[in-house]
């Protein structure tokens, strides 16, 4: 496994984690908290994500506006958001849907921070798994005498350096998300 492969795989873990953290809602409106809600449309024959059915915009810090590409499915989208049971009440207003994001209670903030920390730990575990696989491959190469002991130590140090960088980025993601969650 090359350094580029290690960086690439750890980078993918970081990307997945960023996407995952964006679904944790803060007190502010962001399209990412509803864009992956699956909605049954066209009489229940098709199930699509909200971002495939409409444009989602932020009209103010507490309000999301959903404008369907096809106005005939507006009621199905509203019903789908309600059925998703994510704590939002859609209001149909002509050709669009408005969702007001309620402020987070202190208890809910604490729960979301706990959830975020769990997701961060899962990300760190995945990064360490990539490091473990890389280290095993390096040791195998040394056992097969395809690299020297000096090269082994140098490569292990480099893999650890990459791992430390990614773990630091994960910590930064967590710090920023926690700040967002604590803002009132």
How does residue 165 score in pLDDT terms, banded at 50, 70 and 90? very high
- One domain for residues 109 and 178: yes
More confident residue, 144 or 165: 165
More confident residue, 101 or 166: 166
Looking at residue 183, its pLDDT comes to 75
CATH of the domain at 169: 1.10.132.20
Looking at residue 168, its pLDDT comes to 95
Report the alpha-carbon angle 74-77-79, nearest 5.
110
- One domain for residues 95 and 121: no
- pLDDT tens-digit readout, 110-124: 888 898 999 999 999
Looking at residue 27, its pLDDT comes to 67
18 has a pLDDT exceeding 80? yes
- One domain for residues 89 and 133: no
- One domain for residues 117 and 63: no
- One domain for residues 110 and 177: yes
Q: Are 100 and 63 in contact (CB under 8 A)?
A: yes
- One domain for residues 109 and 96: no
More confident residue, 87 or 83: 83
- One domain for residues 114 and 93: no
Domain encompassing residue 96: 31-100
Mean pLDDT throughout 90-106? 86
- One domain for residues 123 and 83: no
Last residue of a domain, one of 53, 83, 100: 100
- One domain for residues 90 and 109: no
How does residue 127 score in pLDDT terms, banded at 50, 70 and 90? very high
Looking at residue 81, its pLDDT comes to 87
CATH of the domain at 69: 3.30.1360.40
Mean pLDDT throughout 163-176? 94
- pLDDT tens-digit readout, 140-151: 888 888 888 888
Last residue of a domain, one of 100, 128, 146: 100
**Overall number of domains in the chain:** 2
Last residue of a domain, one of 72, 100, 128: 100
79 has a pLDDT exceeding 70? yes
Cα separation of 77 and 16, whole Å? 26
- One domain for residues 15 and 83: no
Looking at the chain, the whole-number percentage of residues with pLDDT higher than 70 is 98
Looking at residue 40, its pLDDT comes to 87
184 has a pLDDT exceeding 70? no
- One domain for residues 57 and 83: yes
- One domain for residues 36 and 96: yes
Cα separation of 115 and 124, whole Å? 14
More confident residue, 3 or 130: 130
Instruction: Provide the b/e sequence for 24-37 (b: ≥16 CB within 10 Å).
Output: bbbbebbbebbbeb
Q: What is the distance in angstroms between the CA of the first residue and the CA of the last residue of the chain?
A: 46
């Amino acid at each position: 496994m090359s350094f580029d492969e290690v960086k690439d795989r750890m980078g993918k873990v970081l990307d997945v984690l960023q996407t995952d953290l964006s679904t944790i809602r803060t007190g502010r409106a962001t399209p990412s908290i509803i864009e992956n809600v699956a909605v049954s449309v066209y009489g229940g024959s098709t199930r699509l994500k909200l971002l495939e059915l409409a444009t989602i915009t932020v009209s103010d810090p507490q309000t999301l506006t959903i404008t369907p590409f096809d106005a005939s499915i507006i009621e199905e989208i509203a019903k789908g958001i309600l059925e998703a049971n994510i704590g939002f009440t859609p209001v149909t207003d002509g050709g669009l849907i408005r969702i007001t994001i309620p402020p987070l209670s202190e208890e809910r903030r604490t729960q979301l921070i706990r959830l975020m920390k769990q997701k961060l730990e899962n990300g760190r575990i995945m990064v360490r798994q990539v490091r473990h696989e890389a280290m095993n491959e390096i040791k195998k190469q040394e056992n097969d005498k395809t690299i020297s002991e000096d090269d082994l130590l140098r490569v292990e140090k480099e893999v650890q350096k990459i791992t430390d960088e990614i773990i630091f980025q994960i910590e930064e993601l967590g710090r920023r998300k926690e700040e967002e969650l604590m803002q009132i």
